[in-house]
Chain A
Amino acid sequence: MKQRCLVVDDSLTVRMDIGEALQSAGFDTVLCADLRSAREALAREGSVLVVLDILLPDGDGLDFLTELRSSSATARIPVLLLSTEAEVKSRVRGMGAGADEYIGKPYDLGQVVARAKALTQRDTSGGVASGRRVLVIDDSVTFRNELKQSLEGAGYHVRQAATGEEGLALAAADRPDAVVVDGILPGIDGATVVRRLKSDTALRGTPCLLLTAAEGTHDELRALEAGADAYVRKSEDLGVILVRLAALLRGATATGGETSPSLLGPKRLLAVDDSMTYLQELGSQLRQEGYDVVLATSGEEALELLAAQPVDCILLDLIMPGLSGQDTCRRIKQSPEWRDIPLVMLTARDDRDAMIEGINSGADDYIAKSADFDVLKARLRAQLRRKHFEDENRRIREQLVRRETEARFQRLIHSNIIGVILGDLRGHFSDANDAFLAMLGYSRAELEAGALRSDVLTPAEWRERDETAVEQLKKTGSATPFEKELFRKDGSRLPIVLGLVLLEGADKTVGFVLDRTEQKVAEQKINKYAVALEGANRELESFSYSVAHDLRAPLRSIDGFSQALLEDCNDQLDDQGRKYLRFIRESAQHMAELIDDLLTLSRVTRSELHREPVDLSALALAAMTRLQRAQPGRKVAMVIREGLGAEGDPRLLAVVFDNLFGNAWKFTSKCEGGRIEFGASSNDGHPAYFVRDNGAGFDMAFASKLFGVFQRLHTAAEFEGTGVGLATVQRIVHRHGGRVWAEGEINRGATFYFTLEDAKERLK
């Protein structure tokens, strides 16, 4: 459907002239001579553009413009003002009222049409394919025809070439809208074709789509480095090529209008001079050349206009009242927005000083007013040409940088170390790397077709978490990695960690995706072990309980009834019989001790550790006192160092002291002048506590056996014992993060050392 354009002007000539030009440019036009008919036409038929004169028989065009802007239905319609009023004031007023463009009369028809097109192109959509010419370069006839068929089915015109050389020749002659080229060709390869196309100024704007054969990313990177706008694997569906092509062409039309303005196209000039006579003359001379000329009579006015409407070149008088030419020039050149506009200084004086003055203030050129207008026009053209090429160069440079950045970015994404998705804040994925696709089991074709969207892939219970992340993303620019799940293509769930970053483009996000499957499996395994361990612990606990309770009962019977036998049937027993009964009782009691010691050992292992400051000296004294009270007859010298404290579980540490002192007490029982000492020595800067005796001692060769369960270095006849005590000591010390060891010599005593991890170390 054609786009309707409203032309409002009271001059029939202008209406016919512009109407005709717009129609031949593909617009449908409605011509109105006054505001009344313009309002009616707009209400009746609508419009995509209004070309509006200011002085109209039934009112001011600017009032109509204000009307349009204040109604929501018409506020967005582009308005191009067309007026004889060449002064700065009317331009500023027009642009201020909301005009999108202001062109002075006499106008250049080409400029009006170009601007009309540009203004209406802002929201072109759909129909990218229709009538577009695509050049397909591929050596396989079968593939070429297949592709041709689907492209033509989508509305493209297709030309074909079998080699790169043939393709380049055809491209130069035919100027296609897009090129699809195979990477592998008999002569020059696809990447070279792309590189040559991109180095030709006439063709470099043509979007190139490179077909790559291999699966690896190597070819794709080469394709991008050669300058291809996109690549598609040949193994992919033809549909992917079509989708990609449409996207490229859409991109090209969106930016095409502005990237490369024609050097020969109409330009807008700002002429500034305090002499109205000279200004009028200059204006009419330049208008004859087809320029849109705005006249300003002072530096202040010039700055005012620049703020409202950009211009292509400035002609500035050096000597003016008020803001001088020099100051005006300096201000323009200091503004980042305006400093690239070529500025030609004009002056009546034709001398060296004035020239230097002008150039020093930043002017790009200098012309004496006395020179004839042809010279001025030539210098003006030179400036405009210079500016044009500068712009062009900058554009190319920026494009190259952008491409390089893009290539680097692509390389990063396609390294496939981690899943990467590109998308917007609404969760639509525009791209993703193979690592991500492989995680979910989707193909690239499905991604290109738009099958992958966050809301479809995310199970319902995770959507709220997603929203929280998006909120954070909007606020801070990134979302802290969080755990969630995604549906795989087969409907199963994939546990992932997702981190998001917002790109500078506000609505573009990059998501980094880590597959958590293995971690999850490991976690489940650990959980299973934990449950099993807990069960085992519980079992052990009830086992210990049974041991404590049930194993003792028969022992009690054995001991009790042996005693009963001794008492009640004493006269029926001889000495032998009584001795045997005594042995039975001793055995039962020994076994009861063993059970008790084992229970203590297992309790020491199971019970929780409650750390608090402990007075070790006091614990030592208490253990010693208990022993002395049990055997008050024994004379043993006690040396307990005062004031030794540590941090630990007081109940467990009491068991340590009971055992160590119990041993010392036991093993000094057969020597004269027994002596037991508790103290501390330094071990690597940490205290090593010790219990030392001068008793039976032990052979250091067996030192390693001391702390094993049921390990004994003495016979029961020499010294009684269960062989569990030191194992218990070791376990308690280990649970405190400490170490225990012993030194000894037969008949010269033994020293048992232990350390305890101090609070500071533990915090580390």
Chain B
Amino acid sequence: MSDRVILLVEDNPKDEELTLRALKKGKVINPVVVARDGVEALDYLFARGDHEKRAPAAMPQVILLDLKLPRVDGLEVLKTMRADERTKLLPVVVLTSSNEEQDLINSYSLGANSYVRKPVDFAQFVEAARQLGLYWLVLNETAPLAGRR
């Protein structure tokens, strides 16, 4: 298992706590960076604003992206990422409450790699987190990123 960062984009502190807990319970031990809205998420990815000190080449292993976010929403973040060479190929898992068909279609057509609905039952949430970790952090081979040699 790689020790690269997981970027969690989540505005609800309770959901953040639950997600972190679910990841931990699901045996995902990678460090998690939390961005609390779309702007912060993009600042982190492009190493600017509050994150300008970050080494720009070190990209997260996977991004867990909520759709409903203040300022810049999840779909907008996704669109911006996919339009930029540096983040174009980063795996993005949409993690949201909604199971509206339109959200699914929009996410996938903007280039999301996966779409997971946050279950209410915490036990199921833990199971989802475990599978996420297994797939995106262990099994999945990421594309070589443009920023790195």
- Determine if A592 is an interface residue (Cβ-Cβ < 8 Å): yes
Q: Is A560 touching B97 in the complex (CB atoms < 8 A)? A: no
> With A557-B14, A560-B18 as given contacts, are A552 and B97 in contact (CB-CB < 8 Å)?
yes
- In the complex, how many angstroms separate the beta carbon of A557 from the nearest chain B beta carbon? 4
> With A559-B122, A564-B21 as given contacts, are A553 and B99 in contact (CB-CB < 8 Å)?
no
- Determine if B1 is an interface residue (Cβ-Cβ < 8 Å): no
Q: Is A556 touching B21 in the complex (CB atoms < 8 A)? A: no
> Which of A550, A562, A564 sits near B97, CB closer than 8 Å?
A550
> Which of A544, A549, A560, A596 sits near B21, CB closer than 8 Å?
A560
- In the complex, how many angstroms separate the beta carbon of B25 from the nearest chain A beta carbon? 9
- Determine if B50 is an interface residue (Cβ-Cβ < 8 Å): no
Point out the residues of chain B lying under 8 angstroms from A560, CB to CB. Answer: 14, 18, 21-22, 122, 125
- In the complex, how many angstroms separate the beta carbon of B56 from the nearest chain A beta carbon? 33
Q: Is A589 touching B98 in the complex (CB atoms < 8 A)? A: no
> Which of A544, A545, A592, A599 sits near B120, CB closer than 8 Å?
A592
A-facing residues in B1-44 (Cβ within 8 Å): 12, 14-15, 18, 21-22
- Determine if A621 is an interface residue (Cβ-Cβ < 8 Å): no
Question: Can you give 10 contacting A-B residue pairs, CB < 8 Å?
Answer: A545-B98, A548-B97, A548-B99, A548-B100, A549-B68, A549-B98, A560-B122, A562-B122, A589-B120, A592-B120
A591 CA to B96 CA in the complex, in Å?
18
Which residue numbers of B lie inside 8 Å of A, CB to CB? Answer: 12, 14-15, 18, 21-22, 67-68, 96-100, 118-123, 125
A341 CA to B138 CA in the complex, in Å?
118
Which residue numbers of A lie inside 8 Å of B, CB to CB? Answer: 544-545, 548-550, 552-553, 555-557, 559-564, 585, 588-589, 592, 596, 599
Q: Is A557 touching B98 in the complex (CB atoms < 8 A)? A: no
Q: Is B68 touching A556 in the complex (CB atoms < 8 A)? A: no
A562 CA to B120 CA in the complex, in Å?
12
Point out the residues of chain A lying under 8 angstroms from B22, CB to CB. Answer: 560
Q: Is B68 touching A559 in the complex (CB atoms < 8 A)? A: no
Point out the residues of chain B lying under 8 angstroms from A585, CB to CB. Answer: 121-122
> Which of B18, B97, B120 sits near A549, CB closer than 8 Å?
B97
- In the complex, how many angstroms separate the beta carbon of A496 from the nearest chain B beta carbon? 45
Knowing that A548-B99, A557-B18 touch, tell me 8 more A-B residue pairs with CB under 8 angstroms.
A548-B98, A556-B97, A556-B125, A559-B121, A560-B21, A562-B122, A585-B121, A589-B121
Among B18, B22, B68, B122, find the residue whose CB has the most chain A CB atoms closer than 10 A.
B122
> Which of B14, B67, B100, B119 sits near A561, CB closer than 8 Å?
B14
A339 CA to B100 CA in the complex, in Å?
91
- In the complex, how many angstroms separate the beta carbon of B47 from the nearest chain A beta carbon? 30
- In the complex, how many angstroms separate the beta carbon of B30 from the nearest chain A beta carbon? 21
A560 CA to B123 CA in the complex, in Å?
8
A544 CA to B101 CA in the complex, in Å?
12
> With A552-B118, A556-B118 as given contacts, are A563 and B123 in contact (CB-CB < 8 Å)?
yes
Point out the residues of chain B lying under 8 angstroms from A562, CB to CB. Answer: 122
A548 CA to B12 CA in the complex, in Å?
16
> With A560-B18, A560-B125 as given contacts, are A552 and B68 in contact (CB-CB < 8 Å)?
no
Q: Is B98 touching A559 in the complex (CB atoms < 8 A)? A: no
A548 CA to B120 CA in the complex, in Å?
12
Q: Is A588 touching B97 in the complex (CB atoms < 8 A)? A: no
Q: Is A553 touching B97 in the complex (CB atoms < 8 A)? A: yes
> Chain B: which residue is nearest A566 at the CB level?
B122
Q: Which 9 A-B pairs have the closest CB atoms?
A: A592-B120, A560-B18, A563-B122, A560-B122, A557-B14, A552-B97, A549-B97, A549-B98, A555-B120
Point out the residues of chain A lying under 8 angstroms from B99, CB to CB. Answer: 548, 596, 599
A556 CA to B97 CA in the complex, in Å?
9
Point out the residues of chain A lying under 8 angstroms from B15, CB to CB. Answer: 553, 556-557
- In the complex, how many angstroms separate the beta carbon of A679 from the nearest chain B beta carbon? 32
A455 CA to B82 CA in the complex, in Å?
62
Among B12, B18, B22, find the residue whose CB has the most chain A CB atoms closer than 10 A.
B18
Point out the residues of chain B lying under 8 angstroms from A552, CB to CB. Answer: 97, 118, 120
Q: Is B96 touching A549 in the complex (CB atoms < 8 A)? A: yes
A557 CA to B119 CA in the complex, in Å?
11
Point out the residues of chain B lying under 8 angstroms from A563, CB to CB. Answer: 122-123
Point out the residues of chain B lying under 8 angstroms from A559, CB to CB. Answer: 120-122
- In the complex, how many angstroms separate the beta carbon of B129 from the nearest chain A beta carbon? 11
Point out the residues of chain A lying under 8 angstroms from B68, CB to CB. Answer: 549-550
Among B68, B120, B121, find the residue whose CB has the most chain A CB atoms closer than 10 A.
B120
A562 CA to B97 CA in the complex, in Å?
19
> Chain B: which residue is nearest A545 at the CB level?
B100
A556 CA to B96 CA in the complex, in Å?
12
Point out the residues of chain B lying under 8 angstroms from A589, CB to CB. Answer: 120-121
- In the complex, how many angstroms separate the beta carbon of A71 from the nearest chain B beta carbon? 83
Q: Is A588 touching B100 in the complex (CB atoms < 8 A)? A: no
Point out the residues of chain A lying under 8 angstroms from B14, CB to CB. Answer: 553, 556-557, 560-561
> Chain A: which residue is nearest B126 at the CB level?
A563
Point out the residues of chain B lying under 8 angstroms from A553, CB to CB. Answer: 12, 14-15, 97
Point out the residues of chain B lying under 8 angstroms from A550, CB to CB. Answer: 68, 97
- In the complex, how many angstroms separate the beta carbon of B37 from the nearest chain A beta carbon? 16
A553 CA to B66 CA in the complex, in Å?
12
Point out the residues of chain A lying under 8 angstroms from B12, CB to CB. Answer: 553
A596 CA to B100 CA in the complex, in Å?
11
- In the complex, how many angstroms separate the beta carbon of A549 from the nearest chain B beta carbon? 5
- In the complex, how many angstroms separate the beta carbon of A542 from the nearest chain B beta carbon? 11
A506 CA to B68 CA in the complex, in Å?
73
A706 CA to B118 CA in the complex, in Å?
32
Point out the residues of chain B lying under 8 angstroms from A555, CB to CB. Answer: 120
Point out the residues of chain A lying under 8 angstroms from B97, CB to CB. Answer: 548-550, 552-553, 556
A561 CA to B15 CA in the complex, in Å?
10
> Chain A: which residue is nearest B22 at the CB level?
A560
Point out the residues of chain B lying under 8 angstroms from A564, CB to CB. Answer: 21, 122
- In the complex, how many angstroms separate the beta carbon of A562 from the nearest chain B beta carbon? 8
A589 CA to B68 CA in the complex, in Å?
22
> Which of B98, B120, B123 sits near A556, CB closer than 8 Å?
B120
- In the complex, how many angstroms separate the beta carbon of B8 from the nearest chain A beta carbon? 15
Point out the residues of chain A lying under 8 angstroms from B122, CB to CB. Answer: 556, 559-560, 562-564, 585
> Chain B: which residue is nearest A551 at the CB level?
B97
> Chain A: which residue is nearest B19 at the CB level?
A560
A553 CA to B120 CA in the complex, in Å?
8
A559 CA to B119 CA in the complex, in Å?
10
